[in-house]
Structure 1
Amino acid sequence: NSLRLHHRIHTGEKPFTCTECGKSFSQRCSLQLHSRTHTGHNPYVCTECGKRFSSNTGLRAHMRTHTGVKPYACTECGKFFSDSSTLRRHQNTHKAEKPFTCTECGKGFTLKDNLHRHHRIHTGEKPFTCAECGKSYSQSNNLIKHQMIHTGVKPFSCSECGKSFAFKEGLRNHQAIHMRRNHSAAQNVTECSL
């Protein structure tokens, strides 16, 4: 049976087809897992935020957004990622043709816009200015983040204690504290029960 499953890797045979959408799979269990996307059956629940998942793998990957753990490293540049799919997407940037080269440092880019954005590092250009306080940024996304300081909007709330944050990173760092405390408390309970 396992030899037949392995053989399907080479042949590309996918005999199990979803009756809802027509997508095919090489294993029955993969089809069963996929069918949950149609039924909405998500039995795996995140204890931190309550988000539900159809697979244990999905839940484990999601938990890393709370802990900040990034176990997947790019062998090309050493950058770390929280999940394998993001790592693979990143690795493609190393393989891609990079026709746009920085005349200052020689770094290559796949898109002209990315080269233009990078070039600001060398020129010090900061074209995105806050109308409220005059502070300038080289990238528009940094200005958008900064402006939340003036509005006082804190859209990211901790499900455990209710504390709010203007930035997702702030919430993630804060939740890591809860995770460490909860993990530490769980270890102490285990130690006491021995």
Structure 2
Amino acid sequence: GKSFRYSSNLNQHQMIHTGERPYKCTECGSSFQASSSLLIHQRTHTGERPFHCTDCGKSFNLNSSLVRHRRIHTGERPCKCGECGKSFIRNSDLIIHKMIHNGERPYNCSECGKSFRTSSVLLLHQRTHTGERPFRCTDCGKSFNQNSHLIRHRRIHTGERPYKCGECGKSFNQRSHL
């Protein structure tokens, strides 16, 4: 068994085994084992994003998301592939990358049989069959099949240029324009 220094930590741990989730969201009814998890969840309803990037002003609901985001500005890529040496900001991206080396593509399109490394890429692919474009710009009404495309498009309206050249200081609305 596992041992704990404080009884509160033991009580918290025991909820894993009992399934007890005493902290309930009054907004949607979701329940949680820890009060801290409820507080984080409630930010989805309030829109609160208390963690701000000092470089670009982008805000996040979790400090860990800000820490990961900061790696874009610092260039830090701590997750390295032992096979080819390629580095990544997130471990989840490294895991997906490793599938290149082992050839794993576990997600198959039922429409055309094409296979993919992740379920999210399969979902994007399936939109080529359905024509679904669920991400709509509230300013001009243009629709997109990926949220990232909408975010990039919105910069036309906002004038945001989050990618700054370290050499000359000029800013761009797309990383590929650096």
**Would you say the 8 A contact 2:163–2:175 is kept in 1?**
no
Aligned partners of 2:81 and 2:98 also within 8 Å: no
For these two proteins, the number of residue pairs brought into alignment is: 120
Query: Which letter does structure 1 place at the counterpart of 2:103?
Result: G
AA partner of residue 52 (structure 1)? S
Q: Give the whole-Å Cα distance in 2 for the aligned partners of 1:159 and 1:19.
A: 46
Gaps of 5+ in 1: 95-105, 116-154, 172-194
Q: Which is higher, the Rg of structure 1 or of structure 2?
A: 1
Q: Aligned pair 1:62/2:57, yes or no?
A: no
Cα distance change on mapping 1:4 and 1:70 into 2, 3 Å: same
Alignment of structure 1 residues 33-182 onto 2, 5 Å: 33-73=40-80, 79-87=86-94, 90=96, 93=99, 108-110=103-105, 113=114, 157-158=163-164, 163-165=170-172, 167-168=174-175, 171=178
Root-mean-square deviation (Å): 3.8
Scaled by the length of structure 1, the TM-score of the pair is: 0.47
Task: For structure 2, list consecutive stretches of 5 or more residues without a partner in the other structure.
Answer: 1-7, 117-160
Cα distance per residue 1:65-106 (max 9 Å; x no partner): 222212234578765321244445x27948xxxxxxxxxxx9
1:147-166 CA-partner distances (Å, limit 9, x unpaired): xxxxxxxx764399861348
Q: Which has the higher helix share?
A: 1
| Alignment TM-score, normalising by the size of structure 2 | 0.50
CA distance in 1, matches of 2:21, 2:82: 32
Query: 1:48–1:159: 8 Å Cα contact kept in structure 2?
Result: no
Alpha-carbon distance in 2 for matches of 1:166, 1:56: 25
- Between 1 and 2, higher relative CO (CA 8 Å, sep ≥ 6) is seen in 1
